[in-house]
Amino acid sequence: MPDPTTSYADLRALVINCTLKRSPERSHTQGLIDVSTGILERQGVQVEVLRAVDIDIATGVWPDMTEHGSIEAPSTSLGVADVRMPPTFLAFA
């Protein structure tokens, strides 16, 4: 059982939802994320969820892909998060 005196209010978590559906379309992946983020939020953790399909993410092999034609991702979220959950995607076969 968790210690009721422990506080996680100073922690921030970032979750990247890799669904193929744009917001606000319903996503089964978001349903899974809601379960895990609910656990974190009940412990006082501040949670931010980003849908990768909704933002322009600079990809590639150079340190700054914005110099190579890609648009910058929201690095402010990445930089301040204490917990970075791995990108999540749910697929049905």
Closest CA to 16 of 78, 59, 61: 78
Q: Which residues of the chain have pLDDT under 70?
A: 1-2, 58-79, 87-93
Q: Any bridge partners for residue 88, and if so which?
A: 17
pTM over 0.75: no
Give pLDDT tens digits for 20-35.
999 999 998 999 999 9
- Nearest in space to 14 (alpha carbons), one of 78, 91, 92, 88: 78
Helix (H) or strand (E) holding 75: helix 75-80
